[in-house]
Amino acid sequence: MLKLFLVLFICVVSCNVKHQKAELTSICNQIPVKNLLPYRISIEFDYYLMEISRKNQQTQNGIMMLGAIGGILLAPIVAPLFAAPGLAGAAAMSSGLATLGGGSIAAGGFGMLGGQVVLGLSSTLITSAAVSFSGHEASFDDFMSTRRNPYEDTITLGEYQISGTFAYMNGRNSLNGPTKITKSGVLVFTGSVFCEETCSLLGKF
């Protein structure tokens, strides 16, 4: 009778361990598949994105300023091209700016000031187009290349909290080393987890 009880007890324990191992393996497999970010890396990536945005804004402001200045500097070169025939020097520039501004104010246009605005806007539009080619791109791969890999971190997945060694490989975050898993605050696994095509858990359940 005692032997039967021991056999049943061992079977129950073994079945529970197998069930728990299967469940934890499934949980660990979700990390790379769902592209989940561990807690600290997620926060650092948010800061990284904000820094990239700040740098892009600075770049854009600088280029827009250059565009406005460029409009002023281009006036003596561009305006004479639109001047009335026979004019030269300051008269040609004034005439050209008035033409770009839709004619003289007396004739219903915006005069020289309007021409200066047109040149400024044209220069700014050209430099605005350049902004899209001069900005910094936010890439998670670039971000991860600046971080130590593998790294220790924690990820929460439902009622599970997984603290361990993570690696970023082939565009995926996955467990790769010593790991502790708790469920609702209770330790349910300690050991090592290695994830390639699927995760393998080696340790105490």
Question: Quick one: pLDDT at residue 7?
Answer: 46
Q: How many CA atoms lie within 13 A of 189 on its CB side?
A: 28
SS3 call for 204: strand
In degrees rounded to 5, what are phi and psi of residue 145?
A: -70, -20
SS3 call for 120: helix
Read off the pLDDT band of 99 (50, 70, 90): confident
- Chain centre distance of CA 18: 40
d(CA 195, CA 174): 6
Give the pLDDT confidence of 4-20 residue by residue, as tens digits: 444 444 554 466 778 88
Domain ranges across the chain: 46-134
The pTM of this model reads 0.60
Contact 193, 200 (CB under 8 A): yes
* pLDDT at residue 110 greater than cutoff 80: no
* pLDDT at residue 89 greater than cutoff 70: no
